[in-house]
Amino acid sequence: MRKLFLVAGLLFIGGSLFAQPNSGSGVTDDDLQLNTITTAVPFVSITPDSRAGAMGDAGTALSANSNSVYWNTAMLNFAEDESEVSVSYTPWLRQLTNDIHLSYVSAYGRIGEKHMITGALRFFSLGEITFTDNSGNFIRDDKPSEYEIVGGYAFQTSRRTSVGINGKFIYSNLTGGLIVAGVETKPGIAGAADISFVFHNDEAKIGGTKGTYTFGVTLNNIGNKIKYSDVGQNVPGDFLPMNLKIGNAFKARLDKYNSLTFAVDLQKLLVPTPAIYNPNNGDLVSGRGNNVGVIAGMLQSFYDAPGKPEEDANGDYIQNADGTYRIVKGSKFKEELSEINIGTGLEYWYNNILALRTGFFYESKNKGARQYFNFGVGLKFNKLGIDISYLAALKRTNPLANTLRFSLRYIFEGTSHPNASSEE
């Protein structure tokens, strides 16, 4: 048992250490400037369910349920139950307003022994917004909204491996066709895909503790750029929040009635990092431009961090003799590492009836500073499951603070598949 809790401690401590300044390079977080990566339709990356939402958003390798279509479709081939549907609701940014919310419906079903199908509908309401002109005169009230429709398929490639793919349609209506500076706006539309893989070993051991080890990898939201007007055909649109997630989870079967799951996710946006330009003359100081295609942008995201340019006493960027700009040694590599977000989570189940969960999510302060603890509880009554989670931000001014999520799951058909893992 002591070995088991040592592993749990290492998962959490390791995640924290990974995000700390690299003393070997001599570069700290304070040496880097704020350089947040922005994308279109960020709503598709909001954690929809209360289970992973209570575990530091570490859901890539969690045991399967109907919300796996968001986290890792490939995991569904190892689901305990043959079919399930869930409904989730999240009041969003309640520190700022009271009328923004995310609603999410998802389901899956088995077809044959090695095939699963799944689907989901995500609806994001931005509440009521009053549009005004440059003088502050009233134009109209509107209720902008966005939605995503997902269909997925998972195929079991061996007893312990599975692959999955999702197709997505994304619709983003932020302006309702409002004319801005003489330009007519339009809804943004995109098609996208997810690709996922799972390795699932239900005969794993840590020390003398038997359990289930799962490794998962996903590539999410690979799709076209989005534009909200027809003006400027040569102007690049905005990237979707394409990302890479790598997850590990170990579910320890402590005894007949008790189980404990440890999960760790590493997440990275596969979107170009904003370059740094000289405000005096517009020269590119460091980094790379983002006027590239989708695949080129994904590859570029692994090596395009601009780092920290050196400055003189007047705050001007220092140039070398060849006209290039000096960059603080090691700052580019440090910034690349800072773009990796870390989620860690714990889940305890008693008698497959009561679940207690907690987790921590870390994002570098130079990339958005989302840092928060999560807590949650789950109850299961025969075919019905209820999950609730709460987000406690490290900074009280964080707009995500006090976020609540609610999920309701219903099992239509119980276990019959030989490779199914035990209930989460």
How many angstroms separate the most distant Cα atoms in the chain?
73
Determine the pLDDT at residue 424. Answer: 44
Determine the pLDDT at residue 389. Answer: 98
Rounded CA-CA distance 74/55 in Å is 20
For residue 129, give both structure tokens: 């917004």
In the chain the domains, ranked by start, together with CATH numbers, are 2-413 (2.40.160.40)
Taking 70 as the threshold, does the pLDDT of residue 16 lie above it?
no
Taking 60 as the threshold, does the pLDDT of residue 418 lie above it?
no
Rounded CA-CA distance 356/350 in Å is 9
Confidence of residue 12 (pLDDT cuts 50, 70, 90): very low
Determine the pLDDT at residue 257. Answer: 94
Mean pLDDT, residues 134-161 taken together: 91
Confidence of residue 211 (pLDDT cuts 50, 70, 90): very high
Taking 50 as the threshold, does the pLDDT of residue 132 lie above it?
yes
pLDDT digits (tens, 9 = 90+) for 105-116: 999 999 988 999
Global pTM reads 0.88
Mean pLDDT, residues 157-174 taken together: 96
pLDDT digits (tens, 9 = 90+) for 350-381: 999 999 999 999 999 999 999 999 999 999 99
Taking 60 as the threshold, does the pLDDT of residue 169 lie above it?
yes
For residue 236, give both structure tokens: 């690049």
Q: Using an 8 Å Cβ cutoff, are 228 and 188 in contact?
A: yes
Taking 50 as the threshold, does the pLDDT of residue 7 lie above it?
no
Rounded CA-CA distance 170/122 in Å is 9
Q: Which residues, listed in sequence order, are joined to residue 228 by a DSSP beta bridge?
A: none
24 contact partners, CB below 8 Å, separation of at least 6? none
Taking 80 as the threshold, does the pLDDT of residue 143 lie above it?
yes
Question: Bigger pLDDT: 135 or 307?
Answer: 307
Rounded CA-CA distance 169/187 in Å is 13
Rounded CA-CA distance 372/366 in Å is 16
Determine the pLDDT at residue 350. Answer: 96
Which of 53-67, 73-87, 331-345, 393-407 shows the lowest mean pLDDT across its residues?
393-407
Mean confidence (pLDDT) of the chain: 88
Please state the length of the chain.
Answer: 424
Determine the pLDDT at residue 341. Answer: 97
Is 343 buried (19+), middle (13-18) or exposed (0-12) by CB count in 10 A? buried
Determine the pLDDT at residue 94. Answer: 86
pLDDT digits (tens, 9 = 90+) for 316-335: 899 988 888 999 999 999 99
Determine the pLDDT at residue 138. Answer: 81
Confidence of residue 396 (pLDDT cuts 50, 70, 90): confident
> If DSSP codes are grouped into helix, strand and coil, which group holds residue 296?
helix
DSSP character string of 181-245: TTEEB--EEEEEEEEEEEEEEEEEEETTEEEEEEEEEEEEEEE--B-SBSS-TTS--BPP--EEE
Taking 60 as the threshold, does the pLDDT of residue 416 lie above it?
no
pLDDT digits (tens, 9 = 90+) for 268-307: 999 999 999 998 888 899 999 888 999 999 999 999 999 9
Mean pLDDT, residues 36-51 taken together: 95
Determine the pLDDT at residue 232. Answer: 61
Determine the pLDDT at residue 86. Answer: 97
Q: Using an 8 Å Cβ cutoff, are 360 and 15 in contact?
A: yes
- As a whole-number percent, the residues of the chain with pLDDT over 90 amount to 68
Confidence of residue 134 (pLDDT cuts 50, 70, 90): confident
Rounded CA-CA distance 265/149 in Å is 25
Taking 50 as the threshold, does the pLDDT of residue 216 lie above it?
yes
Report CA-CA distances (Å) from 57 to 23, 48, 347.
Answer: 28, 10, 12
Cα 71 from chain centre: 8
Q: Which residues, listed in sequence order, are joined to residue 412 by a DSSP beta bridge?
A: none
DSSP character string of 7-34: HHHHHHHHHHHHTS-BTTTTB-GGGSPP
Residue 395 CB coordination number (10 Å)? 13
Determine the pLDDT at residue 414. Answer: 66
Determine the pLDDT at residue 258. Answer: 96
